Chains A and B, each alone.
Chain A
């Protein structure tokens, strides 16, 4: 327990203190625990919004739903600064290479959320010009169902991603399984 109560407002949920050994004026824990906690609570979103799911995502970022409460306040419109790619909307086959390029420009660690039916599976657009799910082009961590999903759904997807981030090994990106996954997509 902390000697000083910094947060007296019970409605505000704070990130839990990672497991460790603490005494007066110090705390010792594993490096990985701290990094995972920091990563999970400061995901920088990169919106890749092409249609109506993008409108729902805008509502998610707005004051009613406020994604900033979960540590993803600032959207970066450059892939080089971001680590959470949010694909919201129908992706045409012609846009596939562009989406892939955006993903390649993101630095590790990087995560992808497919928001809505179209990004997840092509949705109602079972048609020759539409990519039948972005997982044909890039690996996806979380799929959010809905057409379009409500902002609550998108928030749930991001909270699920935070769980993934909190529990994944720091060495996961060096594992053969992960490299194999990327190789399946032709990404070195």
Chain B
């Protein structure tokens, strides 16, 4: 199954899908934040497409894109046709709501917890949306770019020597 066939089938069913690209031959498109789960369901249920393996869920933070700062990325794999694709949903930082894919893929559970942990994406319908890798006491989402990577409690490093903060 080629990228064109997948694109044709998807566009016929969901005309609102946009931003079609194939970087490194990987079919990529954008879906509405609220309609993402319907696309996943269609890709899963259709016997010709059969995208029934969820490779990964992650997110990207684009501070410059006002109103759609956070991008949730789904990687899917069809084990029957050996095709892969990538779906992106854009959500605003102030209200990062996306429907959970746990009803379709059990493996989405921990992936969504991780994405919540680092980017603060609110997966609606997730059975246990709590932090998974970071300490429970953490009160921010560390992969959002307004937060520094460095540990703020460390005092023994000379900022000029190590390039922390300042104008570097």
Contacts and interface: CB of A to CB of B under 8 A. Distances in A.
A126 B164 contact: yes
Contacts of A90: none
Contact of A126 (B133, B142, B162): B162
Interface-centre pick from B134, B149, B151 (highest chain A CB count, 10 A): B151
Contact of B149 (A96, A128, A132): A128
A56 B22 CA distance: 47
Contacts of A128: 134, 138, 142, 147, 149-151
B154 A126 contact: yes
Interface in B109-168: 133-135, 138, 142, 147, 149-151, 153-154, 156-157, 162, 164
Interface string A83-104: 0000000000110100000000
A23 B153 CA distance: 59
Interface in B54-91: none
Given A126-B164, A127-B149, A128-B149, A94 B135 contact: yes
A122 interface: yes
A94 B133 contact: yes
Given A126-B162, A127-B149, A132 B134 contact: no
Interface in A107-132: 121-122, 126-130, 132
18 contacts: A93-B134, A94-B134, A121-B156, A122-B151, A126-B150, A126-B154, A126-B162, A126-B164, A127-B149, A128-B134, A128-B138, A128-B149, A129-B134, A129-B135, A129-B142, A130-B151, A132-B151, A132-B153
Given A128-B138, A136-B153, 19 more contacts: A93-B134, A93-B135, A94-B134, A94-B135, A121-B156, A122-B151, A122-B154, A126-B149, A127-B151, A128-B134, A128-B147, A128-B149, A128-B150, A129-B133, A129-B135, A129-B142, A130-B151, A132-B151, A132-B153
